[in-house]
Amino acid sequence: MKRLVGPSVGLIGRVFAILLLTVVIEFGASTLLYERASRFSVREDEARRLAEHLVIARKLVSERPWRERPVMADRVTTDRYVVRWTPAEPSIPALAPELNEMQRQVVAWEPSLGALDMRLTSPGRRGIVAGGLPLGDGSWLLFRTTERVHGWDLALGRIVLALMPAFALIVLGGLLVRRTLRPMGRLAVAAERVGLGEQATVAEAGPAEMRRVIRAFNAMQERIHRLIGDRTQALAAVGHDMRTPLARLQLRADAIADPATRDALLEDVTEMEAMIGSLLAYLGGDADPETPVRIDVAVLAATIVDDVADRGGDATYDGPDHVEIVVRPIGIKRALANLVENGLHYGGRVKVTIVEGPDNVTLCIDDDGPGIPPEDLARVLEPFIRLDPARGRNTHGLGLGLAIVARAVAMEGGTLRLSNRESGGLRAEIVLPR
């Protein structure tokens, strides 16, 4: 049973994602902690400065006569704090909730301010703190910061700056990982080529584990090709040895005077030759040395149809006059001829159609036979499979015709599809990439 999974992410992509996630989280968390620690430090420092300035300013202003207090307030004004004196109690709004922590810190630095009616407020500009502090004679000392006291928000620029090293590490790490895993990509390409019957030796490179895998892969494909070569050589020898007595049987059959006996014997010889031919074609397909070349499949299909018509068969061709693609000509010719012969045997009439697409060429072979039960459409492509109820038993061969077709099409990177026509009969479609 096949597992249905979504689009998979490559190993390099996953490593990139892991590195990205790890580094981003690390830098994001460290930046957040740094900002929070920095903010707390700034608030503590600001509270200490304000507490010290208020204590000094209150002492200096309260020691002066009333007429000199405005001048003294101006003197204790700095570029950070503005100080003013007023004889009457000012109207200061209630303490802003966000300043509770600051007032607590100011009192913690100068406990003497805790016994006074110190008032803090935010006059409207965000981050600016103002307030008042009563003197012993009922007058008030007013103060206001000239700069923002608490900008506790995380600064986007600082986060970006903190993340820049993370992205640099991601790129560097990704390049190193890609270089490390490059032999795996070459191994995957070689495995695909071996699956198509080719031999592709991979150079040993990469980490020690990768080198061991490549070494094992090279040794494995060498054993496979040696096994295929030995099997093909044995099949060729057996086929040659078996055809020799069959040829003698055919010659002796010609000398038989009884026509019925002679025809029966010749029919058996023909069936045995067909069995041997199909078996050698199927078992010897892996070691087929044929090289793909550019051929005209339209001409090939029309030629096969003409041969059938010359032998008295009912076959027609419908399609363009010329369609050129790169394939193995013998394999495709064998596949197309097998499908046409099957259609003639089971349906009596065959129609071959070629449809051109932007990326592929489709060869359709339609017959008027009984078709194939839907549940057997996939099973019929397996070797040595016969569907007696649907296809009859009066046929030569070993049930390898469609298996040979499927293998020949797969060698070209194409697909073979079988389906029952609504009007009756079977449709076989060979889809070949351009």
Residues 232-261: tens digit of each pLDDT: 777 777 766 777 787 787 788 877 888 888
Is residue 362 scored above 90 in pLDDT? Answer: yes
Dig out the tokens for 107 from the structure.
């009192």
Dig out the tokens for 368 from the structure.
């008027």
Q: How far apart are CA 286 and CA 289, in angstroms?
A: 9
Q: Which residues contact 287 (CB under 8 A, 6 or more apart)?
A: 197, 228, 229, 231, 232
Is residue 25 scored above 80 in pLDDT? Answer: no
Confidence of residue 124 (pLDDT cuts 50, 70, 90): low
Residue 64 vs residue 103, higher pLDDT = 64
Contact 154, 35 (CB under 8 A): yes
Mean pLDDT of the chain: 77
Question: For residue 388, how many other CB atoms are within 10 A of its CB?
Answer: 7
Neighbouring C-alpha atoms within 13 Å toward the C-beta of 8: 6
Q: How far apart are CA 120 and CA 106, in angstroms?
A: 11
Dig out the tokens for 69 from the structure.
């207090």
pLDDT of residue 390: 42
pLDDT of residue 110: 82
What's the whole-number mean pLDDT along residues 35-55?
A: 67
- Specify which of 35-49, 63-77, 140-154, 399-413 reaches the highest per-range mean pLDDT: 63-77
Residue in 188, 251, 205, 257 with CA at minimum distance from that of residue 10: 188
What's the whole-number mean pLDDT along residues 377-398?
A: 58
Is residue 277 scored above 50 in pLDDT? Answer: yes
What's the whole-number mean pLDDT along residues 128-146?
A: 85
Is residue 140 scored above 80 in pLDDT? Answer: yes
Rg of the chain, C-alpha, whole Å? 46
What's the whole-number mean pLDDT along residues 33-51?
A: 62
Residue in 363, 294, 301 with CA at minimum distance from that of residue 328: 294
Among 110-124, 142-156, 181-195, 265-279, which stretch is predicted with the lowest mean pLDDT? 142-156
- Per-residue DSSP letters for 10-44? PHHHHHHHHHHHHHHHHHHHHHHHHHHHHHHHHHH
By residue count, the chain amounts to 434
Confidence of residue 125 (pLDDT cuts 50, 70, 90): low
Is residue 367 scored above 70 in pLDDT? Answer: yes
Is residue 150 scored above 60 in pLDDT? Answer: no
**Mind listing the pLDDT tens digit for each residue in 320-356?**
999 999 988 888 888 898 889 888 888 888 999 999 9
Q: Whole-model pTM?
A: 0.45
